[in-house]
Chain A
Amino acid sequence: MSAELPRAGFVEQIMGLPVSVHVRGEGARGADVAAAVEQVFAELREVDALFSTYKPDSEVSRINAGTLAPADAGPLLHEVFALSVIARERTGGLFDVNLPAGDGRTYDPSGLVKGWAADRAARHLVALDDLDFCLNAGGDVVMGCGRADAEPWRAGIEDPREGGTLLGVLERRDGAVATSGTAARGAHLVDPRDGSLPHALLSVTVVGPSLTWADVLATAAFVRGEDAVDWLRGQVGYEALAVHADGRVSRTPSLLVHDLVKAPPS
């Protein structure tokens, strides 16, 4: 990090998640940046109002309550419907927004919406000339560098075995990093095929061009379990690192992880 380069940070709690935006470059503290960041936050709040399963008047809640026909939902819901189908196909059913619930299934696109919404909102930051940005939504990251000579952003990967410590650092000028696991909120990821709780891995981090897909693939790989990294090799453009329940760390061969706090036994 360059100490003299102007940099600004913004944080808001949206969708029950901390959303942080950092901007680097001359003008990082200017009004244009503040306005763009506010657009990001406003858009995420709008998405939350539509998709929250906690808000009874959201479109998702009304669909689940039977008071809104999916066909009558708005365009953003339809975009997510389409992505949900692709996500299920692309992951062979390891990712599915229709989750087992009691005797039936409930429609909960939360696992897709976070990454998709952050990816989408980041376009307001991409539009900033000669500025670099890094958006972190609850541990999922999308980055970009608008400065031609920008040094890469350094994204730490949290070690699920020891809270508050880092496993290593990824350097990227753009793209996305998503991590799925159970460390931060206990067991919340279920296998959509049978409702069981995956236990082979502690976390999976996926790196690639799109946060929407990095997030979906990280969740799917976590559900996949032991051979998650091998499975992810079939996803062109994406790299992965998995921390296994027994402490082993595996990763795709091309993934460069710098400055490891603790060298993974690979």
Chain B
Amino acid sequence: MRRIVTAFATTVTAIGLPLSQHTSTGGSGPVQVALTVAGATITAADAVQVASGNQNDHEINAVAVPILDQEVVAAQSAQVDTVSGATVTSDGYLASLQSAIDQAHL
């Protein structure tokens, strides 16, 4: 089953980068991710549309997309129900493993 998920219209600044190393405030906008779901398992994830308001966004998205894929694969391989980590803010949510797990069950 392939589902197109429009993720939260939240800041994409932090995607793929530890916030501690990335402090600028970038653009924001919806991010569409196509998830291929078999049973309860995500087997693939591809960003099909990313925010593109300004040059900064493009730079961010170039980083964000491949890293999001890796994260989904990590979530799949670990087969976890939830993730505990140092406080995840709404801004960082899209890049989180928890986000990938949530999308598989919404």
Give the B-binding residues of A (Cβ under 8 A).
Answer: 1-4, 7-11, 13, 16-18, 20, 22, 114, 134, 136, 138-141, 143, 153-158, 160, 163-166, 169-170, 177-188, 203, 205, 259, 261
Contact = CB atoms under 8 A, between A and B. Distances in A.
A136 B82 contact: yes
A142 B16 CA distance: 26
A16 B90 contact: yes
Contact of A179 (B19, B86, B96): B86
Contact of B84 (A2, A156, A164, A259): A156
Contacts of A164: 16, 67, 70-71, 74, 95-97
Given A139-B83, A155-B80, A184-B19, 19 more contacts: A3-B41, A13-B93, A18-B93, A22-B82, A114-B87, A138-B89, A139-B85, A139-B86, A143-B82, A156-B83, A156-B84, A157-B84, A163-B95, A166-B74, A166-B78, A179-B85, A183-B85, A185-B20, A186-B20
A155 B83 contact: yes
22 contacts: A2-B40, A4-B39, A9-B106, A18-B96, A20-B82, A136-B84, A139-B86, A139-B88, A140-B87, A154-B82, A155-B83, A156-B82, A158-B83, A164-B74, A166-B83, A178-B84, A181-B86, A182-B20, A184-B92, A185-B86, A185-B92, A205-B84
B59 interface: no
Contact of B85 (A3, A143, A158): A158
Interface string B12-46: 00001111100100000000000000011100000
Contacts of A8: 105
A132 to B, nearest CB: 9
Contacts, number: 157
Interface of B: 8, 10, 16-20, 23, 39-41, 67, 70-71, 74-75, 78-90, 92-93, 95-99, 101-102, 104-106
Contacts of B90: 13, 16-18
B81 A139 contact: no
Contacts of B8: 13
A188 B19 CA distance: 11
